[in-house]
Structure 1
């Protein structure tokens, strides 16, 4: 035989209750079933709130009562077709409602709502629903669970009398009908004969008690989810159903917030080794979750993650606690005597402090009773007044595979640390099936996501990108992400989600990802963008695995880097300003990223997509020493001097460089050598030398007056240089030489300038907008290492940025 329990959502609507009917009747064809039902969805809460209205003298309790009556009547009218059966059911239901009305009236008149009265009131929810379901399923037999579920008063609580209950269950269901209908949750005090209950969620417990007493084949809990999930799917979109759990794992997940089943449900069936199946009433074909003694091993160290919001932490501390026997006994005894439950304990090895986790609603009472308990010690200074922290959340990772698996805790706290999540307290039992920790509640969503991702519970690794700047490079990057997203998802199990896009004027954000097909149009109607607004929105989202991608040349945007890194947002940038700024700022950015375990990537600052910075870092990391760097670092200037000739004037080559996207938006940055100086400073620093832009010797080829005034004036005046460049170009051609704007670093000394090179020089045949770098090192002295390729252009720069993003995902 089977025991099937259906929760409130399974009897909450016509659709769900008809699904219940179909499930039960299909099962009953194969074997006898006992069906335990909860009250109609939301009715228990309404019964309680109506009682509170009545005791407060609020006349509106009558309206609430009528709404409950109408709802049950409408349900009966809709689902019960047989006229005689419907009339008989109406008599039962109306009798129950008359009794309930009388109780509410008494509460209203005398303004008193005792525990006994409230227990009686809430019992009507299950008594009503079970009679409706019993009538719906023809041939079923209704049983009053108060006849066989018995409790006794103990420590101010109703506790199950297991021995008596088990005997009565066996007697009641012998012989066993084909379909038995039982109201869950409610019980009877054996000593007083008063109606009691097994606590919220007690219908699960009722079903487990019956299943254990009758040695059922299985206990099925039918609800509105497919089973236990690896995490809360409302928070983690990639959470999925867990196929199997052990009793211990299920208990741990339930105790820490997974509201799939009522925690006491597990013990009675665990003792009898009866499996529990969690099934979805609305998706009966789904496999669900099976809870049993032994489960198959998996390659994942944890089974799932659970959490409790509204956590408060109380720290009991004092030097007098060290080595004193009985302090913890006093803590837990006084809390238990006052009905306050503790779900987490963390104690310092020195014994001078113990931190306990309680629910937020219990905080004030817990602090008061603990201060009273230790009032003498507090008065003498031997102990401190209780320290209370609220606004917290508790997270637990659960799995029997954690037992004897090295590194789980290290991986957990390392993952949290890299994400900027501070752990306030933690606890791990000797059984090694649960590691629990407390974090600020504002970091709960982020904590759950990074753990789910880190422990491979997610099918995909996810990166959340904030793309700033949608000019030539930024727009190309978005195109590349859009084109490559599906390939990365399938081949590398990586999901790139662009959650923020900002232009110079507007910005838009979406935690679930922005549609890259329509973003440009939507951005026109988005929020106003300022660096401050952009920063605040990113920090407010507090999203996991986040990367800020800067495709601008903005000093203000570069100024956001330190704050973002301080808040554990990785940075990928094509913007040279930060890495070439004052050395102290550059070094602080690097150290912040290193300390926090996040990334600060700027490969495209030099050479667009060429692996120049990465190669220098690899050489240094392997123990080599960079002695000299000679480089053509401006694809723009190389393009200009390759295009320059007797038939193409200098001003035209500059216009072509701008039109083809090789130059900066303001070409004066290239012509002034500023761009090359920045790149040289960055390379010099990466080579291990301290360098500033002011230290670089500059030998420029355009007069300083051209860099003053507006951009329009620059374009107007530029043709005045054409004749001089034409004359010099003719002379250079006769000598078989070419111009190259060369950046040089020699043992830390830096310079930039226009050089003439002949055919024997590696720079002579450099074509188009290509860059070239010669690295002379202790290992590459006689024959310098050479890196050459496209050094400008939106496509290759965007590809370089994309490669940096992939390196953060370790792809």
Structure 2
């Protein structure tokens, strides 16, 4: 297996013989320091379409495109499939676009005899998508997937449960690099909703992202604030959060931000779960997914583990690539 190209918004670096490990390390270091690929040694200035056209002109054996962006890359992915490439996605957006675009992408992959793998779109390196397919391929039927799929929110509620103030807990998460640059992007629940929709579409949910019931944790008065002002005013929401934590604790519960996915309905929001629930045991940035199926009905299948971080995400991507490389 060889890495023959690296592509970013500025351009690409390509070598049909394979980019060596030292060269890949040098490119990664240059990117980390702010140098775009187009300005790297051997780099070419081009858009994604031109980069793919260039790669497709070479006789590459079993080519795989890996998408680790956070953009709507549907057109680029279709171009790659048309050129005979398999797809590995860590990018959730193409899988949560309008249903018509999602179906077109799946249909094109099937038509071209290519595979689209996306394990790391839900749960980073945890085997969530793989578990779903193994259950279904063995004749089981998945009826519901319940879970806490946000490492950032998992960390936040773990800290709140240990008595930290909301402002302290959120600032601590920011210091560790867990949330998006604007933490309201995590608090609004849309990242969890996208993960839930990816699972929902596997189960047959026919709707769109806007059909999901999503509870935002961003206070109404904070939604339009500039980022700096929002962060400066975090202390204002400490008392409301303290009351919510105490209310949950008084009924022997803990707060968790949970998604519930079924073929007909997807809900995302804050709940107080009983201390005996598997969700109550979550720690740090761990994710948890609970599969209720025909076989695992009385005692559902539970998967727990780190759901965020570059190392576990990279491991999940590599696992998908290795699956395709061996076919």
Q: Same fold (TM over 0.5)?
A: yes
The alignment partner of 2:280 has SS state of: coil
CA gap 1:624/1:646 in 2 versus in 1, 3 angstroms: closer
Cα distance in 1, alignment partners of residues 74 and 233 from structure 2: 32
Q: Could you say which residue in structure 1 is the equivalent of 2:68?
A: 551
Q: Could you say which residue in structure 1 is the equivalent of 2:8?
A: 503
Return the offset for 1:754. 0.2
CA gap 1:647/1:737 in 2 versus in 1, 3 angstroms: closer
Return the offset for 1:686. 1.0
Q: Identify the match of residue 773 of structure 1 among 263, 270, 289.
A: 289
Q: Which has the larger radius of gyration?
A: 1
Once the two structures are superposed, residues 100-143 of structure 1 have per-residue CA deviations (whole angstroms, 9 ceiling, x without a partner) of xxxxxxxxxxxxxxxxxxxxxxxxxxxxxxxxxxxxxxxxxxxx
Return the offset for 1:739. 0.8
Q: Identify the match of residue 565 of structure 1 among 81, 84, 89.
A: 81
Q: Could you say which residue in structure 2 is the equivalent of 1:751?
A: 267
Cα distance in 2, alignment partners of residues 713 and 544 from structure 1: 53
Q: Could you say which residue in structure 2 is the equivalent of 1:574?
A: 90
Once the two structures are superposed, residues 603-653 of structure 1 have per-residue CA deviations (whole angstroms, 9 ceiling, x without a partner) of 111111111111111222222222122111111111111122576332343
Return the offset for 1:676. 0.8
Does the 8 Å contact 1:550/1:573 carry over to 2? yes
Residue 26 of structure 2 corresponds to residue 518 of structure 1: yes
Does the 8 Å contact 2:143/2:293 carry over to 1? yes
Does the 8 Å contact 2:74/2:101 carry over to 1? no
Residue 304 of structure 2 corresponds to residue 796 of structure 1: no
Return the offset for 1:732. 3.4
Cα distance in 1, alignment partners of residues 133 and 259 from structure 2: 19
The alignment partner of 1:752 has SS state of: strand
Return the offset for 1:566. 1.6
Once the two structures are superposed, residues 214-234 of structure 1 have per-residue CA deviations (whole angstroms, 9 ceiling, x without a partner) of xxxxxxxxxxxxxxxxxxxxx
**1:612-651 mapped onto 2 (5 Å cutoff):** 612-644=128-160, 648-651=164-167
Return the offset for 1:665. 4.5
Once the two structures are superposed, residues 698-752 of structure 1 have per-residue CA deviations (whole angstroms, 9 ceiling, x without a partner) of 2222225544465444434444323322343344344432111110123421111
Cα distance in 2, alignment partners of residues 806 and 638 from structure 1: 30
**1:133-148 mapped onto 2 (5 Å cutoff):** none
Cα distance in 2, alignment partners of residues 604 and 713 from structure 1: 33
**1:58-73 mapped onto 2 (5 Å cutoff):** none
Q: Could you say which residue in structure 2 is the equivalent of 1:184?
A: none
Does the 8 Å contact 2:11/2:51 carry over to 1? no
Cα distance in 2, alignment partners of residues 639 and 764 from structure 1: 12
**1:277-356 mapped onto 2 (5 Å cutoff):** none
Return the offset for 1:541. 4.4
Q: Could you say which residue in structure 2 is the equivalent of 1:808?
A: 324
Return the offset for 1:658. 3.8
Cα distance in 1, alignment partners of residues 86 and 101 from structure 2: 17
TM-score, with structure 2 as normaliser: 0.86
Cα distance in 2, alignment partners of residues 715 and 616 from structure 1: 39
Once the two structures are superposed, residues 551-604 of structure 1 have per-residue CA deviations (whole angstroms, 9 ceiling, x without a partner) of 22122x344111111211111111100111112221221222222222211111
Matched residue count: 315
Higher RCO, 1 or 2 (CA under 8 Å, sep at least 6)?
2
Once the two structures are superposed, residues 420-445 of structure 1 have per-residue CA deviations (whole angstroms, 9 ceiling, x without a partner) of xxxxxxxxxxxxxxxxxxxxxxxxxx
Does the 8 Å contact 1:620/1:687 carry over to 2? no
**1:713-792 mapped onto 2 (5 Å cutoff):** 713-792=229-308
Return the offset for 1:798. 1.1
Does the 8 Å contact 1:617/1:686 carry over to 2? no
The alignment partner of 2:164 has SS state of: coil
Q: Which runs of 5+ in 2 are unaligned?
A: none
Cα distance in 2, alignment partners of residues 604 and 727 from structure 1: 35
Cα distance in 2, alignment partners of residues 560 and 640 from structure 1: 36
CA gap 1:736/1:561 in 2 versus in 1, 3 angstroms: same
**1:71-86 mapped onto 2 (5 Å cutoff):** none
Cα distance in 1, alignment partners of residues 259 and 175 from structure 2: 25
Cα distance in 2, alignment partners of residues 571 and 656 from structure 1: 36
CA gap 1:710/1:527 in 2 versus in 1, 3 angstroms: farther
CA gap 1:547/1:779 in 2 versus in 1, 3 angstroms: same
Cα distance in 2, alignment partners of residues 530 and 582 from structure 1: 24
Cα distance in 2, alignment partners of residues 672 and 504 from structure 1: 28
Cα distance in 1, alignment partners of residues 140 and 305 from structure 2: 24
Cα distance in 2, alignment partners of residues 552 and 665 from structure 1: 16
Q: Could you say which residue in structure 1 is the equivalent of 2:55?
A: 538
Cα distance in 1, alignment partners of residues 139 and 222 from structure 2: 45
Cα distance in 2, alignment partners of residues 618 and 506 from structure 1: 38
**1:36-185 mapped onto 2 (5 Å cutoff):** none
CA gap 1:746/1:774 in 2 versus in 1, 3 angstroms: same
Cα distance in 2, alignment partners of residues 695 and 582 from structure 1: 11
CA gap 1:706/1:803 in 2 versus in 1, 3 angstroms: farther
CA gap 1:547/1:724 in 2 versus in 1, 3 angstroms: same
Cα distance in 1, alignment partners of residues 257 and 135 from structure 2: 26
Q: Identify the match of residue 591 of structure 1 among 107, 117, 139.
A: 107
Does the 8 Å contact 1:743/1:753 carry over to 2? yes
